[in-house]
Amino acid sequence: MNLTRKKIVAGNWKMNLTLQESQSLVAELIGMIADEKKNDCEVYLFPSFIYINTLLRQTQETSIHIGAQNCSNKSTGAYTGETSIRMLSSVGCKAVLIGHSERRTYYQETNITSAEKINLAIEQHITPFYCIGETLNERNANQQFEIIEQQLNEGIFHLNADHFSKCVIAYEPIWAIGTGLTATIDQAQEMHAFIRNKITEKYSVNVAQQVSILYGGSCNEQNANELFSLPDVDGGLIGGASLKSRNFMNIIKAFQ
């Protein structure tokens, strides 16, 4: 772990938790984080859209950031059921997940729609967490580097250096998401270093050294410490293990 980059632990709640469960989880986390004075890791939570406003108010005086799990690739208009980046900005939301593999798999989202969303997020000063990752078939065919490079080239490398520096990258091998299979520390470090090299080639060493690259995919309190101690892993995007305050807090504490 490089000390100059932001360390980030983010909870992607997906389609889980009621309003009451969400508020209890946040209240527990606020208490636990307040007790951990030494921890300088940034904490993000990505709840359902309909709780964002309430949770923003609940976390107002705390260090917890609230983000959205998705946004529309259109700026405004007749798109029933969609939520625009301007709407997110208007409630004070500061971050958004873009290109999560579940959006790509179940809702046909692509590198191109991700690029459109990233542009809108940057315009509204909302931090995009751009999610990339290969399938098991792609890894078995040794195509993982090609796939990741394409996701970077088509989804985010159109940004200028200044805008790119405002983004967070989340590497999430699809075969590790929700499966209990985690990338080995060698696989994780190898891919994170590959991504950072691509950023260096496209922008500069400086930009590459500034951008946080998170690992996601069955990251939990047992493996977080090992993963977060890798030189190019700057934190985690956590699904299942972010739904219980104690588990999530132990992952945050893996940075100490």
Residues labelled as active-site residues: 100, 172
Contact set with ligand PGA (CB under 6 A): 12, 172, 177-178, 216-219, 237-241
For residue 221, give every residue at least 6 positions away whose Cβ sits within 8 Å of its Cβ, in sequence order, or none.
241, 247, 250, 251, 254
CA dist 236 and 186 (Å) reads 16
- Judged by CB, which is closer to ligand PGA: 84, or 223? 223
Other Cβ atoms within 10 Å of 105 Cβ, number: 12
CB of 12 to ligand PGA, least distance (A): 4
Residue 188: both structure tokens together: 């994780």
- Judged by CB, which is closer to ligand PGA: 168, or 203? 168
Residue with tokens 């410490």: 225
CB of 203 to ligand PGA, least distance (A): 25
Per-residue three-class SS string for 22-43: HHHHHHHHHHHHHHCCCCCCEE
* Number of residues written out for the chain: 256
- Judged by CB, which is closer to ligand PGA: 241, or 252? 241
Per-residue three-class SS string for 175-213: HHCCCCCCCCHHHHHHHHHHHHHHHHHHCCHHHHHHCCE
- Judged by CB, which is closer to ligand PGA: 203, or 239? 239
Residue 250: both structure tokens together: 């132990």
CA dist 127 and 129 (Å) reads 6
- Asked if 65 and 95 touch (Cβ cutoff 8 Å), the reply is yes
Residue nearest to ligand PGA (CB): 239
Maximum separation of any 2 CA atoms in the chain, in Å: 49
